[in-house]
Amino acid sequence: MCHPEAVTRLIAEIDTYLARRDGPGIKDVRDGIARSAGEAARRTAKAAPPSCGHLDEALLAMAGADALRGAIEDIRPQLGWVTYDAYPRAKIGERFPRAHAFVTLIGGAGFIPAEDFALGLFLIAPGTLYRDHFHPAPELYVPLTGPHEWRFGAGESWREYPAHAAIWNEPMQVHATLVRRQPFLALYAWTKDVEGVSVVAAAPDWAEIEARL
Ligand SMILES: [Fe+2]
């Protein structure tokens, strides 16, 4: 179980970090943190390291946000990393289920939600395509490592984003992430409709992309 003061400090560092960023969704996430942060200490997730590994490497690769990195490192032994298991294996592929992990700081299982909001950390191992998918929740990702590539619809072209560039996904917007050599460590937030399930959106080029990773 996370020590409440360590969770509170990490959430405060996330808020300070977000206050320095611009773009769609940042204000929504900061509003969600302001409404919900007091509830974080109720979480009872059991401590577990990320099953995909690569957290050491990701923290080493994280440059330009030292206070936030320090807060993650301080609470790290207490974090309960889990995997997102709602995708059918036949659609999400064999790799993704064992190549990612996330930890919820506000919202999620074991939490008594005061608000319809979720905030946490998301990790993806190098050499992974997080296939195209969509969900009802509006979503903010702020990768703390990078660069990584994103596309916003099957058949759309990939675009590289550096670390600290925020990605905002409107509800039901299809998105996919391509993680090459650098592990992907990001802040994530769902600003509402957090009960909605994420759904894989078929694309014809997964096998070709994955064969080259
Ligand atoms: Fe998403």
Q: What is the CATH number of the domain that holds 33?
A: 2.60.120.10
The sign of the torsion formed by the CA atoms of 89, 94, 98, 101 equals negative
CA of 140 to the centre of ligand 1 (A): 8
The predicted pLDDT at position 15 comes to 97
CA of 147 to the centre of ligand 1 (A): 18
CA of 116 to the centre of ligand 1 (A): 16
Q: Is the Cβ–Cβ distance between 26 and 165 less than 8 Å?
A: no
Structure tokens at 117: 């909001």
The predicted pLDDT at position 41 comes to 52
**46-98 pLDDT, tens per residue?**
899 999 999 999 999 999 999 999 999 999 999 999 999 999 999 999 999 99
What total number of domains does the chain contain?
Answer: 1
CA of 92 to the centre of ligand 1 (A): 13
CA distance 69 to 106: 18
- DSSP type of residue 48: B
**121-161 pLDDT, tens per residue?**
999 999 999 999 999 999 999 999 999 999 999 889 999 99
Give the pLDDT band of residue 2 (cuts 50, 70, 90): low
Domain containing residue 134: 4-212
> What region, left, alpha or beta, does residue 197 occupy, with left being phi > 0 and alpha being psi -120 to 50 degrees?
beta
The predicted pLDDT at position 6 comes to 83
**13-51 pLDDT, tens per residue?**
999 999 999 999 999 999 999 988 666 655 557 899 999
**91-127 pLDDT, tens per residue?**
999 999 999 999 999 886 555 556 789 999 999 999 9
CA distance 183 to 192: 27
Q: Is the pLDDT score of 211 beyond 60?
A: yes
CA of 106 to the centre of ligand 1 (A): 17
- The alpha-helical segments, DSSP class H, found in 124-203 are none
Question: Can you state the angle between helices 66-75 and 4-19, rounded to 10 degrees?
Answer: 160
**160-182 pLDDT, tens per residue?**
999 999 999 999 999 999 999 99
